[in-house]
Amino acid sequence: MPAVSERPVLRHDWTRAEVRALFELPFPELLHRAAGVHRAHFDPAQVQVSTLLSIKTGGCPEDCGYCPQAARYHTGVEATKLMSTEAVLEKARQAKAAGASRFCMGAAWRSPKDRDIPKVAAMIREVKALGLETCATLGMLSGEQARALKDAGLDYYNHNLDTAPEFYNRIIHTREIQDRLDTLAHVRDAGLKTCCGGIVGMGESREQRAGLLQTLANLPAHPDSVPINRLVRVEGTPLAGTAELDPFEFVRTIAVARILMPRSMVRLSAGRESMSDELQALCFLAGANSIFYGEKLLTTGNPDTERDMALFARLGLRPMPVVEQGETVHADIVESPARGRAA
Ligand code: SF4
């Protein structure tokens, strides 16, 4: 291990100009730099695999312009009640059998009610007992709720920043970006690992994509996982008619995220099912090293899952074992002082 003074430092003081300059590099140069950072911190042949289950779908009171689960949009999504623990466990067993190492449980809430927490805590305990890492995304949390989830054995909490601070009010009107930052602080304070990224292709400018990544990288701790979603334009949502983002710009976003947050899992998330195999391969080259496994999840013989495994085989990639996903593999990296919560 190198002496302390020689250790690579995780920066939390990126300026907008620096991030913009990365975006503006010639494409081959940007990918070269990102691939170098990737292999300095990870085995580039390994991809972490997570599975996502919606444990409570639709009927959400928020107005996120991209989301088919918002009650106010007519998208054909039917609201459901919270699933039973036994039904969640059955899905978790299937996910494990299909090769997932992390099981994420998502509920379409603005924030959970206190009475919901013991029910979700029971699910977390049981899923954890199967030997899976656990992640939840339940909306905004109080400090007390975050601690209760941690006590139940939760490993990760997902809470995305969605977009750049200066673009936030164009997409969401029922909360402020500071609400997101506050929940992330509660999650960190409770000792949970954070999963936090955003969505691109919502009509934002390159400057605003840079603003999203700058804000993520300048959080007091880099998120452990950074999902970069590509907008899925769902009929009935306000963003249904948004022009498609240039796929190379999406790859640039992945590459810049990798450079800014070298030891984070950069995840291809929503929108991956509509990407070509070639585009996904470029994303892996640019430093993406985590995926959600299949989009229509957990069904035996799921064609999405089969396509993923075929792509892994063609590219010589393999799922990352759980034991190699923790912070221990990065023990030679030190954190620089955080500049503050927001950019
Ligand atoms: S809070 Fe989550 S579930 Fe609710 S509308 Fe926004 S993205 Fe959808």
For residues 31-35, give the mean pLDDT: 98
Q: What is the band of 1 on the pLDDT scale with cuts at 50, 70, 90?
A: very low
The response to whether residue 64 sits with its C-beta less than 6 Å from ligand 1 reads yes
Round the average pLDDT of the chain to a whole number and report it. Answer: 88
For residues 10-25, give the mean pLDDT: 97
Calpha distance 298→179 (Å, rounded): 33
The response to whether residue 198 sits with its C-beta less than 6 Å from ligand 1 reads no
Helix (H, G, I), strand (E, B) or coil at 333: coil
The response to whether residue 69 sits with its C-beta less than 6 Å from ligand 1 reads yes
Q: How far is the CA of 290 from the centre of ligand 1 (A)?
A: 22
CATH code of the domain made up of 10-326: 3.20.20.70
Q: What is the band of 338 on the pLDDT scale with cuts at 50, 70, 90?
A: very low
Tokens of 149: 């989830």
Residue 4 has pLDDT above 70, yes or no: no
User: Counting atoms of ligand 1 from 1, which one is nearest the CA of 69?
Assistant: 8
Residue % of the chain over a pLDDT of 70: 88
Identify which of 67, 80, 175 to mutate to test ligand 1's pocket (most ligand atoms within 8 A of the CB): 67
Tokens of 40: 């300095």
Calpha distance 158→139 (Å, rounded): 9
Residue 27 has pLDDT above 50, yes or no: yes
User: Counting atoms of ligand 1 from 1, which one is nearest the CA of 63?
Assistant: 5
Residue 320 pLDDT: 85
Nearest to 85 by CA among 40, 58, 116, 42: 116
| Highest-scoring range by mean pLDDT, 72-81, 91-100, 218-227 | 218-227
The response to whether residue 62 sits with its C-beta less than 6 Å from ligand 1 reads yes
Identify which of 69, 110, 140 to mutate to test ligand 1's pocket (most ligand atoms within 8 A of the CB): 69
Nearest to 64 by CA among 137, 117, 157: 137
Task: Tell me: is residue 196 an annotated ligand-binding position.
Answer: no
The response to whether residue 294 sits with its C-beta less than 6 Å from ligand 1 reads no
- pTM, full prediction: 0.89
Residue 195 pLDDT: 96
Q: What is the band of 259 on the pLDDT scale with cuts at 50, 70, 90?
A: very high
The response to whether residue 60 sits with its C-beta less than 6 Å from ligand 1 reads yes
For residues 240-248, give the mean pLDDT: 96
Residue 242 pLDDT: 96
Task: Tell me: is residue 283 an annotated ligand-binding position.
Answer: no
Residue 97 pLDDT: 85
For residues 332-336, give the mean pLDDT: 35
Residue nearest to atom 2 of ligand 1 (CA): 108
Q: What string of DSSP letters covers 203-243? A: S--HHHHHHHHHHHHTSSS--SEEEEEE----TTSTTTTPP
Query: Which sequence positions are flagged as catalytic?
Result: 60, 64, 67, 104, 135, 195, 267
User: Counting atoms of ligand 1 from 1, which one is nearest the CA of 70?
Assistant: 5
Residue 95 pLDDT: 86
Residue nearest to atom 3 of ligand 1 (CA): 108
Nearest to 284 by CA among 48, 86, 97, 65: 48
Identify which of 52, 60, 137 to mutate to test ligand 1's pocket (most ligand atoms within 8 A of the CB): 60
Model pLDDT for residues 64-87, shown as the tens digit of each residue: 999 999 999 999 888 999 999 999
Task: Tell me: is residue 104 an annotated ligand-binding position.
Answer: yes
Residue 294 has pLDDT above 70, yes or no: no
Q: How far is the CA of 57 from the centre of ligand 1 (A)?
A: 10
Residue 260 has pLDDT above 60, yes or no: yes
